[in-house]
Amino acid sequence: MISGASMGLGLRLGDEKPVKTCPACLQEDIPEGASKCRYCGTEQLPVRVG
């Protein structure tokens, strides 16, 4: 049996931590540096620091 992690479906080393939620589809695992949502393609605003 092949697990999801061995197929590359899990988190990989070096992946950014999810820090924001897509305002369109509400997925909560969008990396901080993403410019588009990986699920719906909606452009993402930069995360404000401070």
39: pLDDT strictly greater than 70? yes
Question: What residue spans define the domains of the chain?
Answer: 17-50
**Distance between CA atoms of 6 and 4, rounded to whole angstroms?**
5
pLDDT (0 to 100) of residue 28: 93
pLDDT per position as a tens digit, 4-32? 554 555 555 556 576 899 999 999 999 98
The pTM (predicted TM-score) of the whole model is 0.57
Higher-scoring residue by pLDDT: 2, 25: 25
pLDDT (0 to 100) of residue 19: 85
pLDDT (0 to 100) of residue 9: 54
pLDDT (0 to 100) of residue 15: 60
Number of residues written out for the chain: 50
